[in-house]
Structure 1
Amino acid sequence: MRLTTMTDYAMRLLMYVAQRPERLCTIAEVAQAYGISEAHLMKVTHRLSLQGWLKTIRGKGGGMCLAAAPKDINLGSVVRSIEPDFYLVDCLTGDTNCNLMGHCKLTGIMSGALQSLMQYLYGYTLADLLAPSEEGGADALPAPSSGDRRRHIRLARG
């Protein structure tokens, strides 16, 4: 599974803004910091504000800040609100004319994989992305807050 660029930018934007709670951040500064398009970032900002993750202020001196505390912004919820669909294979859409329909277990397996991914993401919040690692690396995540003690994962640097 590959998440869209929109979700990648949404996570980067939320982390950037969360690391600067004392002030408003602008689309231009975030775009420059990550080397991404302001136009794309504007779309992401609009979507995150509509979902209630960001608060935006227009005009001179305007910008954006988190609309909730990082501990209250669930990563699974953010991904679910940004991704257009979660169809890992065409047969999950229900609009396919596959000759294997009714004789294939791929749909069930892929649905289970997606459920596992989302359950895992629901175990983390934005605060988890900001917390320093016990292992000394800035990119390591703590175990999910839901009590699941799976191995630590590292965020891929893009």
Structure 2
Amino acid sequence: MRLNLHTDYALRLLMYLAQHGGQASVDEVAGVFGVSRHHLMKVAQQLTALGYLEARRGRGGGVSLARPAAEINVGAVVRALEPTGTFVECFDRQTNTCTIAGVCGLQGALNLALGDFLARLDGYTLAQLAPNPARFRAAIGLTVPQDQTAAG
């Protein structure tokens, strides 16, 4: 399984904000990850609509987490952003044209695998995606206050 680019950017944006500890501009985050500002803006808008981010417009504006990183479930984020309902053609009864649908075991196997994948992600919060916060912050160019380096 491969996450779509939208979900990938969303998870990166959320992780950045979790480690940033405050508000950041979309331009700033796009620059850190070398991604399209336009695409990241769409991601930020969707995450805001879903209640994961708070956004402030204008000078000094930006985005921040709407709740603590420990309360944001990774599986829930992926479910909200990924079109897993039609993982393969036979998952959608209305548009399915597969001649072996219903008589092969692939649909059941893929359905179980997808469920296992999402269940595994359900075991993680956003806060757990940076097991070594100091190294994560250094990798994304955030300065780490002296008192946090020993803890992270």
User: Same fold per TM (> 0.5)?
Assistant: yes
Tell me if structure 1 keeps the 8 A contact 2:30–2:36: yes
The residue number in structure 1 matching 2:115 is: 115
Paired with 1:86 and 1:9, the residues of 2 have a C-alpha distance of 21
Q: Percent identity?
A: 43
The residue number in structure 2 matching 1:49 is: 48
Tell me if structure 1 keeps the 8 A contact 2:89–2:97: no
The residue number in structure 2 matching 1:106 is: 106
Structure 2, gaps ≥5 residues long: 137-152
Residue-pair matches, total: 134
The residue number in structure 1 matching 2:31 is: 32
Using the TM superposition, give the Cα deviation of residue 131 of structure 1 relative to its aligned residue in structure 2, in angstroms.
2.7
Using the TM superposition, give the Cα deviation of residue 86 of structure 1 relative to its aligned residue in structure 2, in angstroms.
4.0
AA aligned opposite 2:125: T
SS in 2 for 1:19: helix
Runs of 4+ that moved beyond 3 A: none
Q: Using structure 2 for the length normalisation, give the TM-score.
A: 0.83
AA aligned opposite 2:68: A
Using the TM superposition, give the Cα deviation of residue 87 of structure 1 relative to its aligned residue in structure 2, in angstroms.
2.7
AA aligned opposite 2:72: I
The residue number in structure 1 matching 2:13 is: 13
Paired with 2:48 and 2:102, the residues of 1 have a C-alpha distance of 42
The residue number in structure 2 matching 1:147 is: none
The structure in which a higher percent of residues are helix is: 2
Tell me if structure 1 keeps the 8 A contact 2:74–2:124: yes
